[in-house]
Amino acid sequence: MKVIVCGAGQVGFHIAQHLSRENNDVTVIDQSPKLVRRVTDTLEVQGVIGHASRPDVLERAGTEDADMIIAVTAADEANMVACQVAHSLFGVPTKIARIRAQSYLEPMWANLFSREHMPIDVIISPEIEVAHAIQRRLSVPGAFEMIPLVDGRVKLLGVRCGEACPLLNTPLRQITQLFPDLAITIIGIVRNGEFMVPDAESMMEAGDSVYFVVASEKQDRAMAAFGHDEQEARRLVILGGGNIGLFLAEELEASDSKLNVKLIEWDAERASMCASRLSKTMVIQGDALDLQIMHEANIAMSEAVIAVTNDDENNILSSLMAKREGAKRAITLINKGEYETLIGSLGVDVVVDPRNITVSTIIQHVRRGRIHSVHTLGEGFGELIEAEALETSPMVGKPLKEADLPDGLVIGSIVRGDEVISPRGNTVINATDRVVVFAVTDIIAQVEKMFSVQLEYF
């Protein structure tokens, strides 16, 4: 597949990285020679220097025979025009644009992006995606990651193992014998910053971060087995009233009238605007790093503090101060990937990476075949894929222990009708089953083919 990526910033770079790993023909456009050079020196992609919305630049990038354009420059308008030019002049079939300004996304203007006006097939709003990701994490206290799958019937959860976790130092093959009601599939373990796909003899250790798949109805039992029985947070403090903080507060107001939410915003004009938009949230104007402001927000009694300013260092420091003052849990927005490995040891409970969330959202629109959703895990660990099993797939019609499945593939769950099946060696996948799998980066293209209809089948 030939893909044009407009924008060589953090998101554009990681999209190009994902697509180039899978042998797609990728060209990246950016007006910064430095950023284009970084992409072409690091990845197996082509680079073009110039404004991504200009016809001559798009022509030099080979847009006339591209299958898809993904516009993620820093400017919404450049992204929109690039998609429009790609459609009108070059007939590109699929157009994806990142749009940050919320005014473009108001329901009353929805017709703007219709095929007759500005034909963009998929619009990604990072602020909305991040707010939704934070809401998901709030719904499962104790988990640093939560991804719903198969219409919410299955979940991918990420938890950290404490010293008191009952499952420690037990081979995974024994866990189902010792805990027969614990229907989980562990798909990955992160230890000392290194990700590994476990086998039957692998054991979890204190300090590990563990990703597992579980039926939603058995979520509480699974969390308890890992030693997490925290109550869902009812008293929340949001630090930062930007697009993410405001949208999150609005979503929380709409979802649950019994939540006690406070929002701290340092800019007086922005704080006033937030107060006018929010009916149940207390808005406090002040610096989130000011202890007096924290006391005014009663931070010591908060069950979760959510730091979502546009400054990573501010988010980290304010989260740590809130925890020191008595906040039970800190959810922290971090844009710089290099900080992620540091702050777990500092006491931050959940890291939210907008770059990774945006890339995940875009990548699932790139996947082909009977693939319903795709989510990237961690810093290039691999992808969690939800797909429909096909008659022609090598995983169908035989016990999993006899199937010729590639190394690095873990089948996390199978949904058949109303039944959620936790896979074992004797489990047989049927055609049309909805299957949740994890695949390491090196085999993603191979896994994608497993869920693609082959012409010879007809």
Same domain, 309 and 350: yes
What pLDDT score was predicted for residue 456?
38
Task: Output the CA angle 423-375-209, nearest 5 degrees.
Answer: 70
Positive or negative, the CA dihedral 428, 429, 435, 439 is positive
| Domain end residue (candidates: 332, 357, 382) | 357
Task: Give the tens place of pLDDT for each residue, 53-75.
Answer: 999 999 999 999 999 999 999 99
Q: What is the dihedral of CA 391, 394, 396, 402, to 10 degrees?
A: 160
What pLDDT score was predicted for residue 458?
31
Please indicate whether residue 82 or residue 163 has the higher confidence score (pLDDT).
82
Task: Give the tens place of pLDDT for each residue, 367-424.
Answer: 666 788 888 887 778 889 999 998 888 888 999 988 888 899 999 999 998 899 999 8
Number of domains in the chain: 4
Asked whether residue 23 carries a pLDDT value surpassing 80, the answer given is no
What pLDDT score was predicted for residue 455?
39
What pLDDT score was predicted for residue 81?
96
Asked whether residue 444 carries a pLDDT value surpassing 80, the answer given is yes
| Domain end residue (candidates: 160, 192, 225) | 225
Same domain, 71 and 110: yes
What pLDDT score was predicted for residue 198?
93
118-143 average pLDDT score: 90
CATH code of 410's domain: 3.30.70.1450
What pLDDT score was predicted for residue 453?
55
34-45 average pLDDT score: 95
| Run of H or E including 55 | helix 55-60
Same domain, 352 and 239: yes
| Domain end residue (candidates: 171, 197, 225) | 225
293-319 average pLDDT score: 94
Domain range for 83 is 2-124
What pLDDT score was predicted for residue 344?
61
d(CA 152, CA 310): 31
Helix ranges (H only) for 89-216 are 126-139, 172-178
Residue 159 lies in a domain: yes
Residue 230 lies in a domain: no
d(CA 453, CA 138): 38
Give percent above pLDDT 90 in the chain. 60
Task: Give the tens place of pLDDT for each residue, 183-213.
Answer: 899 999 999 888 999 998 999 999 899 999 9
Same domain, 254 and 333: yes
Give the mean pLDDT of the chain.
89
Residues 6 or more apart whose CB falls under 8 angstroms from that of 338 comprise none
d(CA 368, CA 175): 36
Q: What is the pTM of this model?
A: 0.84
Please indicate whether residue 108 or residue 328 has the higher confidence score (pLDDT).
328
Asked whether residue 218 carries a pLDDT value surpassing 60, the answer given is yes
CATH code of 283's domain: 3.40.50.720
Residue 89 lies in a domain: yes
What pLDDT score was predicted for residue 312?
92
d(CA 225, CA 179): 9
Task: Give the tens place of pLDDT for each residue, 98-114.
Answer: 998 888 888 888 778 87
Task: Output the CA angle 165-315-322, nearest 5 degrees.
Answer: 60
Asked whether residue 336 carries a pLDDT value surpassing 80, the answer given is no
Same domain, 244 and 331: yes
